[in-house]
Structure 1
Amino acid sequence: MFNFYFDTRHISSAVYQFCIQIGNIIVEYLNYTYLAPAKVNFVLKIGEKNPANNLHYIFSIIRRVSVFDRITFKINEDGNKLKVIPGKTILKQLDKKELEEYADNLEKKLSDDDNLIIKASNLFFNKINLKNKYINAAVEKNIPMQAGLGGGSSDAAGMLNILNRIYNNPLNYDELNSIAVKLGSDVSFFLKEKDALVAGNGEIIIPIAEKSLKKYYIAVIVPKFGISTKAAYEAFDDLVLTKKINYYNILNLNFSSKLDILKNTNSANESDSINAENYCEAVKLKDLNDLSELGIGSEFENDFEDVILDMYPVLKDIKNFTIQQRTDKKAKAEAGMLSGSGSAMFGVFKTAKDASAYIADIENKTFSSQIKFKFLGETDFKEKLNQLKS
């Protein structure tokens, strides 16, 4: 973003240090802003636990969606400060009392040193040995918490990427990712800034070339409660135990070894994106819609639905509503499913008109009183992102 280059062969050490100081002053004077997108899981398969860290192996196809948190910050030497407020998308969906309660909840849960943005910046400055560097940040929060939409992870990954650019890319992708894995399983995904196949404990990220992906409009439905990821995994483990079903076999067909071959391309270069043809050659698939070789029934599948929909009836109501809409041919949804471990559900549509009609129809259902937020996003959002940045 801002680069300061000096030819030290022709200036004294004192002048060089002065130039560096001027550069640092400029960096600390400026305001920086970035947009952090939400995500949805088109596929999420849960494997057994990794004995090294007791975390489940996963295989997922994750796509970013044009619902954004907006983060503005300055770099300073006076300590971390963080203010979190509801974003514009949230504001228009809440009345005055609801808004006050929501804002208070954001402040209590997010505005402290445990916030992933603060953790990310602290770890970055430590990694590059910069002392007494902090951030003063304001977050306009449009992505609901504990909804399976990756808001906190996206915010943290965005902070890592922009700090790295501000300081002239001192860290390569692997070094940045070594920070990301300490912050959460989805942070590595957002660090790539691309839709991707995700495996392992979330650290194996294989970006998918844009031309290999269909564009969809995403209707996101968020109920009046959140779901803890930890609690969701515990419930899934109980389901496996009580019903004596098997975890998804990620090691099937030597899939892990094929991923090992591909993950060697995990650097930050644009050329690292694989297209569908190359990926399918590696895992013996015809295309990204043909997932049967991996024991996956369709392009849209989430193992958490086996347990979460029974725990939260309104989520099952939303799922059944989507199915009924398809049966009655009132909506042309490609799928309706849970994102991550929830609580958000989402419908997948080929047109914005169909997605908007789906959201409007939900207003008339009895379960609509249990819904807090409704968003319309899209998976291909370069143009929208440029408009929001301007």
Structure 2
Amino acid sequence: MIVFPNAKINLGLFITEKRPDGFHNLESVFLPVNWFDVLEIIPSKKFSLNVSGRVINCKTEDNLIFKAWNLLQSDFGIQAVETHLIKNIPMGAGLGGGSSDAAFMLKALNTLFELNLNDTQLEKYATMLGSDCPFFIRNKAALAYDKGNKLKELDLNIQNEYTLVIIWPEIFVSTKEAYSQIIPKKAPANWTKGLQNIVKWKEFLNNDFESTVFSSHSEIKDLKEQMYQSGAIYASMSGSGSSVFGIFDKNRQIDKNTFKNVHSENINISKLNYGRIEL
């Protein structure tokens, strides 16, 4: 079985509260996007994970793909699998690539071994793997809140077509670093209602991590400015960084040569999605 885990971007990211357990509550809209890993799962006598593409500096037992299999193996006694991952989505980029791999692993194993788990049940397992993982079970535009693991689906009924450009500047931003200077505050009331009009996003959408990350990594700030200089209607850092995305009118001539000093494999250009990605 072969599946194609996709990335996500954050439309707005508001850190609203520090929790007693040391984590933070937030509000953000997660949007699935067309940047894919490739994951093949084959029944086997022993679990194995083979990775090509981008290098993952992680032991197999620490990888979320293994942890996803281990969860279901513990509860349902499923067979071991041989897995092959072609890693295209950058890591430490705020795009949820690792979380997506884990969620798609859960979904694939559910189908492969006929476990008949519904989406709600799969989301419970995904929550055990990471805050971003549950989103990729239904893989549809949603307001994420609490730690990012609670979701409310949204209908982004945007009429026009736009081009989405995502760039990873080959900078790793640690989550601890991103949170280090954040002062939590309430998100604007009913802010998601304004998402139907992309032209106005610049007026109210904000990523609270940008001020901290930009102060330490001016290259990321420069990349966002380059998006606007190239004609973006809206641009932002995704998640806690370091990737930056820009949304352009579909008639705007944009290609990988538009952006200077960026390797082509770190640029993704696609149509902006508003709903669920189906393959």
- TM-score class, shorter: 0.7 to 0.9
Give % identity.
30
2:36 corresponds to:
68
Q: 2:89 aligns with which of 143, 162, 176?
A: 143
Conserved 8 A contact 2:143-2:154: yes
Distance (whole Å) between structure 1 residues aligned to residue 267 and residue 90 of structure 2 = 11
- Counting only pairs closer than 5 Å after superposition, residues 1-390 of structure 1 correspond to structure 2 as 32-51=1-20, 53-76=21-44, 78-86=45-53, 105-106=55-56, 109-110=57-58, 112-127=60-75, 129-130=76-77, 133-209=79-155, 211=157, 215-233=161-179, 235-237=180-182, 240=183, 247-249=184-186, 283=190, 287-289=194-196, 298=203, 300-323=205-228, 325=229, 331-351=230-250, 353-356=252-255, 359-363=256-260, 368=261, 373-380=266-273, 386=279
Conserved 8 A contact 2:139-2:277: no
Shift of residue 151, structure 1, vs aligned partner: 0.5
Distance (whole Å) between structure 2 residues aligned to residue 311 and residue 370 of structure 1 = 22
Paired residues, number: 277
1:308-353: per-residue Cα shift (whole Å, max 9, x none)? Answer: 0111011111122233x2xxxxx43111210101111111113174
Distance (whole Å) between structure 2 residues aligned to residue 195 and residue 383 of structure 1 = 7
Conserved 8 A contact 2:31-2:274: no
Distance (whole Å) between structure 1 residues aligned to residue 181 and residue 24 of structure 2 = 11
Conserved 8 A contact 2:140-2:276: no
Conserved 8 A contact 1:35-1:71: yes
What's the Cα RMSD here?
2.9
1:357-376: per-residue Cα shift (whole Å, max 9, x none)? Answer: xx42322xxxx269972221
Q: What TM-score results when the alignment is normalised by the length of structure 1?
A: 0.64
Conserved 8 A contact 1:222-1:372: no
Query: Partner amino acid for 1:54?
Result: G
Structure 1 unaligned runs (5+)? 1-31, 87-101, 241-246, 254-282, 291-295, 326-330
Shift of residue 154, structure 1, vs aligned partner: 0.5
C-alpha change, 1:49 and 1:214, in structure 2 (3 Å) is farther
Query: Partner amino acid for 1:187?
Result: C
1:263 corresponds to:
none
C-alpha change, 1:304 and 1:213, in structure 2 (3 Å) is farther
Query: Partner amino acid for 1:340?
Result: G
Q: Which protein is bigger by CA-based radius of gyration?
A: 1
Structure 1 or 2: more helix by fraction: 1
Distance (whole Å) between structure 1 residues aligned to residue 23 and residue 159 of structure 2 = 29
Query: Partner amino acid for 1:199?
Result: Y
Shift of residue 208, structure 1, vs aligned partner: 2.1
Query: Partner amino acid for 1:350?
Result: D
Distance (whole Å) between structure 1 residues aligned to residue 207 and residue 3 of structure 2 = 30
Query: Partner amino acid for 1:317?
Result: D
C-alpha change, 1:46 and 1:166, in structure 2 (3 Å) is same
C-alpha change, 1:288 and 1:353, in structure 2 (3 Å) is closer
Distance (whole Å) between structure 1 residues aligned to residue 192 and residue 166 of structure 2 = 30
Distance (whole Å) between structure 2 residues aligned to residue 230 and residue 340 of structure 1 = 13
Conserved 8 A contact 1:224-1:371: no
For 1:223, what is the secondary structure of its paired residue?
coil
For 1:333, what is the secondary structure of its paired residue?
coil
C-alpha change, 1:284 and 1:126, in structure 2 (3 Å) is same
Conserved 8 A contact 1:232-1:304: yes
C-alpha change, 1:385 and 1:354, in structure 2 (3 Å) is farther
Q: What TM-score results when the alignment is normalised by the length of structure 2?
A: 0.87
Distance (whole Å) between structure 2 residues aligned to residue 49 and residue 204 of structure 1 = 16
C-alpha change, 1:172 and 1:110, in structure 2 (3 Å) is same
Distance (whole Å) between structure 1 residues aligned to residue 227 and residue 239 of structure 2 = 18
Distance (whole Å) between structure 1 residues aligned to residue 25 and residue 277 of structure 2 = 34
Shift of residue 183, structure 1, vs aligned partner: 1.1
Query: Partner amino acid for 2:232?
Result: A
Conserved 8 A contact 2:38-2:87: yes
